[in-house]
Structure 1
């Protein structure tokens, strides 16, 4: 993978050096502008994110702001540092995230102190580069604090060190992206970050809830078809417990290859086909395997390759679809098959290896004819033991977090999200309810924790969603923000969240208030 990334980087720089056109630049959409793709009368490929697009505004300074003072422009309309030219642009920003709040009965003070920096650059329409770095200290609400201590990771943001005598955490993380678009048919991206496949808030195929990872992605577009092949390297943080000669090289690595074929059948209907294979870099005895070049062919049918290797690599297949029901309403869905035997699926006996998940949702825009009042609703269902495997060396997980849904498996979930934007004001409300089957102790495996080996399943038959300790999870959050600078989403934000978890063993309730100065378009998932 290292050699591949160096080759791609050299290719990017060569193409960039020859780019002299005074044309729109290629940059990623920020999440707040994705709605425009769904509202367009034509059909776009919206599933594999981040999505690159042409941006004409990035090339030139807005003439309406040049008469303002330098302080006003930098605070409200421009990047901190801007270097603009007909052939290239460079943007540099300082990215704060300062929050303080209360949780539980008001006795616990939470806070976050984040200092970040970013650089974004393009040369012509062919080359785009971005890099982000964040240094953080924080004290979190009780349920997040417990999760962090158990998994030794802040959700989506990396490993931790104790801070303030163990009462808070110190952590940092970074991301980067190099994109080369030689023509309208091909894009090559090398990055260190996250990817997302789907049209929903959650993804059951590949989500962006976890820590950054290195990847190489090739995307080809021809007519109504877009095809993406991606190779990535993940870390098995559980492997720290293995006492082998491999330990001094850090955590065990594992590799993944992902293929996604997205077909715009019509202006209303899009169907995407997905497959993936996860394989270990080394086994628990320390025997090295490394990158498997048999998976390098970008158009290979993965299940055949995996079978021909005589391996037990972890393979998944899936389907993603969306349909524009009305001009401003799109329905979408996903289906993932981790294991599939037709006889057992339709046998109705609850075979343990019926490992499937499904999603159904909708997006509605400009609700009640109110501009930028949007509503999203979603149902997610995941059977027990889905995404798990014989070992964490090969399961569908990276750095102690699922590559799919934050709740793992053995659950169903329904959620609704409403957003409203007017001028620089932004409001968001979320309501989520889930029911999952937890394990009564560490030795028992009812299929909720995907880091447990599926060989420890409780029974061969009679496995149903919610088995184990039936647990109800309710999460609600309301957020109001005033956007100071839309270039990097600098905003004053206040939020109130309520979380309640109840089962026959315990019941906990959290009420979490926070206020702060925030920036960037990062999205963290604390609703679990």
Structure 2
């Protein structure tokens, strides 16, 4: 943590302490939502701001909280099925500790490959009084993954959603990850959150604005709630692995992100939101820029500030919307805009800088009148070169001397929005059925996108600079090596302990990537003992 970031923390802490009394806290489950929690959020009579994750709870959110209860008399029965492994519950505070295993073994049938994961993790959390909560988790892992995951990981050096890997044995990886946060609520109007974690904006399975597919990152976040409005301000520091390291002591180059998101519950049925983000580089070829205090402005509209700075910083703006058509049926959507030229935007000639993405989807609960049978459908479309950046130049010197930009919309070589990057269309459906402790989940998706031939940039890989684009005009979704992806995944689990999601689980995954150059098929059978409140995405 450098000197500028410490000053930022002190400043925000000073602001937070000026508000007395309570009513918000941040869930310790991060961006993960169980089907039961999603149902409560979207079908309860209370009008909620559902497009923030981790979700910020109010006083009237007791329905959402996981209550303490047990149907087992013995200590062993309670610990295995109902309670945290260790817990201390007092009127003034509550502490808990859980062991989080993820032991899986499977077979990649098409590639004659045995897959396995050996994860030992722990989670410590709790609250002190009504205004202070915290959690931290750590995972030590080894594993052998399906061939398509293995190939992707070796190409970027990072396992999706986690961290850097080291070789383990002949085909495996050794890696670790950790995350956590401290939440302080001085008043019912304000929550202060300091963390090393992930964040998510939107109501969908995917997000085109800010998602949880990348590795955790450090951030400072303020969330203010008043009337029908909820406003999030966040400042974060990202890692740029693509540029050469500065030196051994400083490690990878850093970049900063500033985020604003305003959500307005217009009525009991309709909500809309405004999003904006700026990414800027921390270090250039001539010295350190550090934290830019111009972006400390807590109000909207970064773009005029960025223009006034004369900077090459990367801007992303977006809209969200939600319409609760029926009590158990909700539409949602997003629109992300990376660059806008009015004349070219409406001309329909495939101008490269028409960089935008759109999402539409729905959530439905208790479908066909069957309790706890839920379905979610979603479509995502992102044009080529969206989320990309150019190679910054300072006084004629390229900042990144290996041909890649530093301020694209990525962290740790992974997208901050959709896992697929850009230049794609995706259609997916997720069905979930829960009966007592039996949990069944099926996901089915189809998408198409354009991969890059050797040495060319057709706009899917957002790590590449848009300076190397193949054409200014005539760009379309799927250009390049047009590829179709069929993906299906079914998991059947028995939940042993809902407190830390301990479950016996078996699954079947089918993946078929079709093109004229390098088609591949994967069928995976797996079984394991799992426990986690993490979203890990391998559907790419």
Q: TM-score, normalised by structure 2?
A: 0.92
Unaligned segments of structure 2, at least 5 residues: 392-404
Paired residue for 1:224? 228
Aligned-CA RMSD value: 2.3
1:214 aligned partner: 218
- State the SS of the aligned residue for 1:390: coil
Shift of 1:28: 4.0
Matched, 1:459 2:471: yes
Which of these residues, 186, 202, 221, is aligned with residue 190 of structure 2? 186
Q: State the 1:143 CA deviation.
A: 0.4
Deviations 1:365-415 (A, max 9, x none): 000011110000000000000000013310000001000011100000000
Match of 2:81 in 1: 76
2:172 aligned partner: 168
Distance in structure 1 (CA, Å) of the matches to 2:328 and 2:267? 16
Task: Kindly provide the CA deviation profile for residues 413-446 of structure 1, in whole angstroms up to 9, marking residues without a partner as x.
Answer: 00000001110010100001110011111x2000
Question: Do 1:12 and 1:127's aligned partners in 2 also have CA atoms closer than 8 Å?
Answer: no
Task: Name the residue aligned to 1:94.
Answer: 99
Give yes or no for contact 2:385–2:462 (8 Å, CA) kept in 1.
yes
Partner of 2:402: none
Among 440, 444, 450, the alignment partner of 2:453 is 440
Tell me by how many angstroms 1:124 deviates: 1.7
1:118 paired with 2:128, answer: no
Q: Which runs of structure 2 are paired with 1:98-497 in the superposition (5 Å)?
A: 98-105=103-110, 107-164=112-169, 166-240=170-244, 245-246=246-247, 248-283=249-284, 285-391=285-391, 392-441=405-454, 443-497=455-509
CA-CA distance at 1:346 after TM superposition:
0.7
| Mapping for residues 50-61 of structure 1, pairs under 5 Å | 50-53=54-57, 54-55=61-62
Query: Are the aligned partners of 2:24 and 2:188 in contact in 1 as well (CA < 8 Å)?
Result: no
Say which SS state the counterpart of residue 31 (structure 1) adopts. Answer: coil
Name the TM-score, length of structure 1 as normaliser. 0.94
Extract unaligned runs of 5+ from structure 1: none
Is 2:62 aligned against 1:49? no
Q: Shift of the alpha carbon at 1:14?
A: 8.5
For 2:56 and 2:369, the matched residues in 1 are separated by: 29
SS at the partner of 1:239?
A: coil
Secondary structure in 1 matching 2:110: coil
Q: Give, in whole Å, the separation in 2 of the partners of 1:72 and 1:195.
A: 35
CA gap 1:445/1:46 in 2 versus in 1, 3 angstroms: same
Change (3 A) 1:457 1:465: same
Alpha carbons of structure 1 residues 299 and 522: separation in structure 2 relative to 1, 3 Å: same
Cα displacement string for residues 250-288 of structure 1 (whole angstroms, at most 9, x for unaligned residues)? 1110000000010001100000000110000012x2521
SS state at 1:34 partner: helix
Change (3 A) 1:426 1:61: closer
Within 2, Cα distance between the matches of 1:355 and 1:36? Answer: 36
